[in-house]
Chain A
Amino acid sequence: MLADANTSSHDEGSGAWARPVPTRLGEVLVALALLASGAFFASLAALLDFGRVGLPGPAFFPFALGIALCLLAGAILYQVWRGASGSGAIFLGHRDVVIAMLAMAGLAFAFERIDSYVVLGAFTAVLLILIARAAIWRVLLGVVLGMVAVWLFFGMALGVQLPTGDFWGLLTAWPSFGQP
């Protein structure tokens, strides 16, 4: 409400790809996920040593926490069933959120496999093009300057060793690829 007076929105409401999920359904799904997590901790802890009542073993704490989580998830489900969560909807799947999540998953996948600077540069470029909707020349300039800054700050100043992968090896070997 406070933001309304001084901001103008680019996107309409909850974004182009966003779909409404009934709050009640979402609450149930989240509570079930918590229930499953509680069951996971309790069931696996049950395989460990419980120790004695006066001297609990490694299983005691996670088992008790797993049970407690199941009970709390059950209580949340009961609350939802009683209608405490209302009848509204929550929008999920906003375009920019989906793009950012997919880009981050790609980054995590390729980070160590390919040269990290190349991956981070590509990641930055994707987000600038698709989320910031920046012009290509700005993206290129931003990526090059950004990666130089990363190298100078993290690599040189702080001595952080980022994975190099075999991207450059493959690239330099590429012209002779397939030749005897």
Chain B
Amino acid sequence: MSAFDHLMSGFAVALTWKSLLYCFIGCFWGTIVGVLPGLGPLAGMVLLLPLTFGLDPATGIIMLTGIFYGAMYGGSTTSILVRIPGEAASVVTCIDGYEMARQGRAGPALMIAAVGSFIGGTVSVLGLMLVTPPLAHVMLQIGPQVEVVLMLMAMCTIAFISGGSRLKTAAMIVLGLAVGTIGLDKLTGVPRFTFGNLGLADGLSFTALAIGLFGISEILINLEKSETIKAIQPKLKDLVPRWKDLKDSAPAVTRGTIIGFIFGIIPGVSHVVSTFVSYAIEKRFSKHPEEFGRGAIAGVAGPETANNATTGTAMIPLLGLGIPSIPATAILLSALVMKGVSPGPLLLTEHPEVFWGLVASMYVGNVVLLILNLPLVGLFVNLLRIPYGWLVPTILVISTIGVYSVSSNAADVWIMVVSGGIGYILRKFGYEMAPLLLALVLGDRLEEQFRTALTMSGGSYATFADYSSLLVIAVVVTLLLILQALAWTFGYSKSIADEAERT
């Protein structure tokens, strides 16, 4: 079967009423969490994770992915209308987006952001579709030692480039890996840190930990800054951009797509990095760089396109290698594993309906978001008027029911509450939760593959330095150096990411 035939079979999955409904729910909820400051794509996915338990794997993953890219769309709305980034990747959009809104040009800014997001998102799905199958094929040829090397490289990269202190990020990764060892040892069946409690045999509930560390801690942090938001309200008829806007945006959208697509491969904060690089490049290439910061439409089009173009690329390591590179894909990984589906090279042969259904749904989802975001922008802006105090109980009730429904165990509710408190304290002192979550998801597999590789090599650690492993390290390091050089060339530095995270 050709890629086209596979894609058609994917559309057969994605266009069923059930898939369409859940794709719509995902996109809608994603836009909402993107719009609401303080609730990012990750918290949005985590909070609705339990809803996927009653669904088949393809439908569940379609909904969760819809939240992921839906949030990228929604983030621009608050950046442009309120000057508050809905999520970290929309920080740059605030600069020129809000200036445009102040000049009465919120409509064109929103329109260009949505169209750019649509183009970036769609092209990146095309890349996902074309790159993943050959990558998965290569992955099948290599052994567990290379997988170990890849996972270690991913974690090192996250520690190196993520916002905040590298030492703290490394501590979070190690803590995540350590917590992941709780439960029965996969290879020998020996219980570890269970204290005879059978409920801990499968380890601590990932859902409870993820909702606690991300969702609850985020809510608690946001409770400290109860604010009434005053948004600029655009009218539907004002959305149509002028010819000059389209002319100025087209090259920015093209460049943003390429930048987002390339940078999406970096583990950690790729979506944030891509927006800053895109903005810097647009400023560098502009004939009127002095307009940047005063409402240049290219300053909205480029970064918004770039951050959506990362979504498809970020899925490549997950679906092709089975290794999540960003926290959002870690949630997708855990959702698939809970469904008995292992993402990675075998996904395309064992569960083609999941992969191709997801790819097709992302095309559909991007159209849904384009249709959803523009006419309903007024509705999403009005969401900002709901007092946070009313949203908190709603989110917490959904979280509690979700966590409980996974295994009908009240202890999981305790795990959620306690991890929420711990996450809150850690975040207050500058520790990031994303690396912890990634490590938590990868920990089991890292240990299993590490020990399997050693068993297969007869106990020789040299297996981790064989030709294929070294080749992988060389390729990854070269790629990262090139991207880092590109980022530096255009004025991006880690301090910018730190500032974005703080904002």
Contact = CB atoms under 8 A, between A and B. Distances in A.
A8 B227 contact: yes
A100 B47 CA distance: 17
What bracket does the count of chain B residues touching chain A fall in?
35 or more
B55 to A, nearest CB: 9
B410 A111 contact: yes
Most buried by B among A76, A79, A159: A76
Nearest to B176: A65
Most buried by A among B170, B226, B425: B226
Nearest to A60: B451
A6 B178 contact: no
A41 B420 contact: no
A90 B429 contact: yes
A161 interface: yes
A126 to B, nearest CB: 8
A104 B420 contact: yes
Interface in A32-46: 34, 37-38, 41, 44-45
A68 to B, nearest CB: 5
Interface in B373-404: 387, 389-390, 392-394, 396-397, 400-401, 404
Given A94-B223, A160-B405, A111 B190 contact: no
Interface stretch (B77-85, B293-301, B467-475): B77-85
A130 B447 CA distance: 46
Contacts of A23: 429
Nearest to B405: A160
A55 B454 contact: yes
B219 interface: yes
Given A75-B167, A131-B392, A134-B389, A49 B401 contact: no
Nearest to A53: B459
B18 to A, nearest CB: 13
B174 A2 contact: no
Interface string B155-193: 000000000010110110011011001000101101011
A103 to B, nearest CB: 8
Contacts of B416: 108
Interface string A40-66: 010011001100111111101110011
23 contacts: A3-B37, A14-B224, A30-B431, A34-B171, A48-B190, A55-B455, A58-B185, A61-B447, A62-B178, A72-B174, A75-B167, A92-B425, A100-B223, A101-B417, A101-B421, A108-B414, A127-B393, A127-B396, A128-B390, A131-B223, A131-B389, A146-B393, A162-B404
